[in-house]
A and B are shown apart, each in its own frame.
Chain A
Amino acid sequence: MRKLVTLLLMSLFCCQVSAQVYRNFNLDEFIARHPIAQSYDVITHCFNGSDKLKMQIASLTAKITELNDKLAELNLIQSKEARNVLDTTDTPDESAFWQKNLVHSKEANELKITMFALIEQKKQIEQLLTRDTVILPDISDLATDIRTALTDNDAIYLNYLPAPVPTNLSEKWLSSPLQIFLWSPQEKYLEEYLDNTYAVSLIFPESRRPVVYQKSVKGENDQ
């Protein structure tokens, strides 16, 4: 019986260990080959031929026009119904008229709220067109493509990135969490590295093997 329990426990632990998968991913090469990155112009600091924002503006303009037409249509209906109730020679059913009118008013109000939100969105995008941040939607697309390329959700991806300018700091950090992780790939070293990744971004100047650990964002699993 004890042997059976021990065996079960061992098999449980083995499963967890075997789930730890390491994969290689060449981020540098991925970015270099990506059509968005290839269209980047270092002189103008823009992606050549990128019409993403202009397309977004055109799409928003079309939606705003559509909502405007619907509002005009509703206005026409309300006007027609008002004419009917004012022109009738009999005693009109005012209660029914106002009830119907209120429904149309609420509908028009909701359309207006949506339309104002779209107008505001359009204004913000138009402002982006005149600033350096115009490249952000393209970068966002590129980042999405990178994430999509990392297909294995449970894997730890080791990536190649261009090495920064060499400095004499590297020797001080020979026993850094990343170095230890590369020798002994245990998650705790990786987590330690990632916890300090902003602060220590310059401590691996010679390293050509930074890591990307595809871990779920906090709260993502709760949804």
Chain B
Amino acid sequence: MIRNGCKILITLVTMLCCTPASKACSLALHDWRLYLHLKIPVSAPLLPLAELDAVFDKIPRNSIEKVIWVADHNQLSSFSLLFMHFLPNWEAHLPWHATARNASIIELARENRAVTKAPLIIGTDQNQLQIALFVDRNSDNRCFQLVFMQTSRIRAVHPDSIKPWAQESRGQSWLSLTFYQLPLPGRILAMAIFPIYQSRIALIDNHSFVEHLLADGLLATRPEQVFDPYSFDFPDLPE
């Protein structure tokens, strides 16, 4: 009995060792090289994704009725607030009051301390927009990735009378577009945005186009063991 068991065991181990690694079903293996990198200081974020991420899971739902967003706002700020309704976070659906940076966040919070449902105050400064273009060496520089990354310092305060909360963090949000030769519809491999609920969300994943390019040998196949669902789509940008 034991001998039979052992034989099965050895056969199983041998089979596991000899089985070739199966190929990943979809996306390719890229070797990204930074081709272009621009850093542009901006007065306010284009979209407060990082701000929403900073307060995610921090404030009890329905405990606030409005958000005061303090920054050196420009015309784009009011435009970006229009997109808030498309975001899934419940905080994004509250009224956001864009306020100029006339006083400190703490001062503003103290002024709103006595209010019944104290508003959430989010301050954003030291904003920077980075634009990066990567080329994929594995595709003989025919595949590209365009990245728009926003970084900022975020100071958030909820001056609740029972359980106040405050936190400073470095905010980061990005939009990435991967395309073959030209950023035209039909040539886009993937489009992703970060962060939504603290995760990267794929808006476009054109698997059939990628598999078509893989079959033609225009992209390198990604082995399964290389896949890391938690890794970013592109290498770190220079400081």
Q: Do A and B come from one complex?
A: yes
Instruction: List the interface of chain A (C-beta within 8 A of B).
Output: 28, 31-32, 37-38, 40-42, 45, 75, 78-79, 81-83, 85-86, 92, 94, 97-98, 101-102, 105, 109, 120, 135-136, 139, 143, 161-162, 198, 201
Chain B interface, number of residues (Cβ within 8 angstroms): 31
User: What's the Cα separation between A38 and B2 when bound, in Å?
Assistant: 6
Give every chain A residue within 8 A of B166 (Cβ-Cβ).
Answer: 78, 81-82, 85, 97, 101
Q: A31-B9, A101-B166 are in contact. List 6 more A-B contacts (CB 8 A).
A: A32-B6, A40-B9, A75-B165, A79-B163, A85-B106, A98-B155
Give every chain A residue within 8 A of B6 (Cβ-Cβ).
Answer: 28, 31-32, 37, 40, 162
**B4: interface (CB < 8 Å):** yes
Q: Which 6 A-B pairs have the closest CB atoms?
A: A82-B166, A82-B164, A40-B5, A102-B168, A42-B5, A98-B168
Interface of A is mostly: helix
Which one of B10-18, B40-48, B141-149 is at the interface? B10-18
> Which of B1-48 touch A at CB < 8 Å?
1-10, 12-14, 16, 18
Interchain Cβ contacts under 8 Å between A and B, 25 examples: A32-B6, A37-B6, A40-B5, A40-B6, A40-B9, A42-B5, A75-B165, A78-B165, A79-B164, A82-B157, A82-B165, A86-B106, A86-B109, A86-B113, A86-B157, A86-B159, A92-B106, A97-B106, A97-B166, A101-B166, A105-B169, A120-B230, A161-B10, A162-B3, A162-B6
User: What's the Cα separation between A37 and B12 when bound, in Å?
Assistant: 13
B114 → chain A, closest Cβ, in Å?
Answer: 11
Cross-chain contact of B167 among A41, A85, A105, A201 (Cβ < 8 A): A105
Q: CB-defined interface of B151-189 with A at 8 Å, one 1/0 digit per residue?
A: 000010101000111111100000000000000000000
Give every chain B residue within 8 A of A198 (Cβ-Cβ).
Answer: 18
